[in-house]
A and B are shown apart, each in its own frame.
Chain A
Amino acid sequence: MKRNHGYSYLWIWPILYFLLGFFNILFAWLGMIDVLLPLILAVFGGNKGFCNHLCGRGQLFALLPKKLKCSRGLPAPRWMSSPGFRFGFLAFFLAMFSSIMYQTWRVFSGASSLREAVKLLWTFSVPWHWAYSAGTVPDWAAQFSFGFYSLMLSSALLGLIVMALYRPRTWCCFCPMGTMTQVICRAKAGHDLKS
């Protein structure tokens, strides 16, 4: 029998995160935990403890199809887990994160004004003005929240799509955090990702 660890309930975290961000966009900052913690564990611990045990999103993707039968369970195309696609998606993700930082900088420097909208899948602008009262925090901090929440929501949607189309945790094949932490772990262990 599988033991039920305390961290088995972390699937609640992504749901809570998106709910909190729906009502107050400033909670988007909490998502930085999902970026920093895997890197800290990989750099200092040399492990993927985050992916393996603590990733709420991975747990949610594994749990949903068990409860709702919402995954075809088919193997994903081989290219989806290839180093080329993984590194390509990581580069895209880092570019999008840089774009968020640039927008934040523009608002901070006064070159641009705060845009209270969430951009879904880097394409569709969705009004999200109810989630923020102007002046609560500096505009740049709110701008980062909108940008980062967009990134988190878009990647979660992508993950849900591939979860439904293929196996539950297909997102893990090309999750940028997973790729980054595996590169770090392999470097620490003396292995090349492509070898």
Chain B
Amino acid sequence: MASKRYALPDRKRCVSCGACAGECPRNALSIWRGCYAVVDKTACVGCGICQRTCPANCIVLIPREDPQ
């Protein structure tokens, strides 16, 4: 079952340091062409580690859309 939340990096504020990708236990985050962090929604379990790691504090956890 998918988690209730997933991480969403703010592409405009991301400094693309890769700290989030380095800490993610599910390898759900990657840096897209050196520009910003992107998340694999299916792999993310919404644990919030990346949110607490991000030095620019630009990751938020948002609820998944209701599948029904």
Chain A 1-58 interface residues, beta-carbon cutoff 8 Å to B: 1-2, 42, 46-49, 51-53, 58
Indicate if the CB atoms of A172 and B33 lie closer than 8 Å.
no
For the A-B complex, the count of residue pairs with Cβ-Cβ distances under 8 Å equals 93
- B15, B33, B52: the one within 8 Å of A189 (CB): B33
Indicate if the CB atoms of A172 and B15 lie closer than 8 Å.
yes
Chain A residues lying within 8 Å of B7, measured Cβ to Cβ, are none
A115 at the interface (CB under 8 A from B): no
User: B19-39: contact bitstring with A at CB < 8 Å (1 yes, 0 no)?
Assistant: 101110101000111110000
A interface bracket (residues with beta carbon within 8 Å of B): 35 or more
Indicate if the CB atoms of B35 and A186 lie closer than 8 Å.
yes
Indicate if the CB atoms of B25 and A58 lie closer than 8 Å.
no
Indicate if the CB atoms of B56 and A58 lie closer than 8 Å.
no
- A182-B16 contact in complex given A48-B34, A173-B56, C-beta closer than 8 Å: yes
Indicate if the CB atoms of B13 and A81 lie closer than 8 Å.
yes
Indicate if the CB atoms of A185 and B56 lie closer than 8 Å.
no
- Shortest A80–chain B CB gap in Å is 8
Chain B residues lying within 8 Å of A185, measured Cβ to Cβ, are 16, 33-35
- A48-B25 contact in complex given A42-B34, A81-B55, C-beta closer than 8 Å: no
Indicate if the CB atoms of A172 and B55 lie closer than 8 Å.
yes
Indicate if the CB atoms of A169 and B25 lie closer than 8 Å.
no
| Chain B residue nearest in CB terms to A58 | B17
- Shortest B14–chain A CB gap in Å is 9
A191 at the interface (CB under 8 A from B): yes
A75 at the interface (CB under 8 A from B): yes
Indicate if the CB atoms of B19 and A169 lie closer than 8 Å.
yes
Indicate if the CB atoms of B21 and A188 lie closer than 8 Å.
no
Chain A residues lying within 8 Å of B27, measured Cβ to Cβ, are 2
7 CB contacts below 8 A, A to B, read A48-B16, A81-B56, A167-B53, A172-B17, A173-B55, A179-B15, A186-B35
